[in-house]
Copies of this chain bind each other. A is one copy, B any other.
Amino acid sequence: MELLKKRILQDGVVKDNDILKVDSFLNHQMDITLLNDIGREFKARFADNPITKILTIEASGIGIAAITAQYFGNAPVVFAKKTQSSNLDGALFTAPVHSFTKGVTYNVQVSQKFLTAQDTVLIVDDFLARGQALIGLIDIVRQSGATLAGCGIVIEKVYQGGGTLLRSRGIRIESLARIASLESGSVTFL
C-alpha cells in the first residue's frame, strides 16, 4: 500500500535500529482518514471472504478494527482483553501472549459469547513482529470453532520472523507495509 509506505517514511521514527514509532498517525494519535484507506485496502484483499466478525486485541488494534469493520458491512468487532476486569465474566477463551515491547506476558481473553463456530473471522492488528499476539488470537479463533479467513496487518517487521512462521502454518497474512530492515535508523521495505 503505497500511501501507507509514504506515510511511514514521512512520519515514522526509527529508534535503536529496531523500534518503528508510528505514534503520530497509528497507535497513539490516529489519522482517521488513513485508517479509512487501510480499511478499504483490507476489504480489497479479503473481498471474497464472508467475514462475520473482526477480532483484534486492545489497545492499538481497536481503532483500526472499528474503521475497517465499516468496509465489511459493519461486521461486529471483538477486542481481546489483556487484563482481568469485573466487566469480564462468564466462560472465556484465553491464550497467553508475550509482549516484547512491554516485557510482560498477558493472558488475553475473549468472552465465549462473541465467537462461535458459525463465524468467519478476520483478525486485524497494527504490527506483526515475532507474531506473539497473532498466535494468541489465532488460538482463540480455533478454540471457538470459527473459520479464520486470515489476518490483516498494517505493518509487518518481516525480519522478526512472525509472518514467515505463521504463513508456513498455512495462515493467510495480508500486510500493508512489509519492512525488511530498520538498520542504520532507516526504513527499508521488502
Number of chain A residues whose Cβ lies closer than 8 Å to a Cβ of chain B: 43
> What residues of B have a CB within 8 angstroms of the CB of A21 in the complex?
87, 89
> What residues of B have a CB within 8 angstroms of the CB of A87 in the complex?
19, 21, 23, 27-28, 101
Shortest Cβ gap from A29 to chain B (Å): 4
> What residues of B have a CB within 8 angstroms of the CB of A102 in the complex?
83-86
Shortest Cβ gap from A148 to chain B (Å): 18
Q: Is A133 an interface residue (CB 8 A)?
A: no
Q: Is A33 an interface residue (CB 8 A)?
A: yes
Q: Is the interface of A mostly helix, strand, loop or mixed?
A: mixed
Establish whether residues A88 and B23, one from each chain, have CB atoms under 8 Å apart when the complex forms: yes
Establish whether residues B86 and A19, one from each chain, have CB atoms under 8 Å apart when the complex forms: yes
Shortest Cβ gap from A86 to chain B (Å): 5
Shortest Cβ gap from A118 to chain B (Å): 15
> What residues of B have a CB within 8 angstroms of the CB of A101 in the complex?
85-87
Q: Is A134 an interface residue (CB 8 A)?
A: no
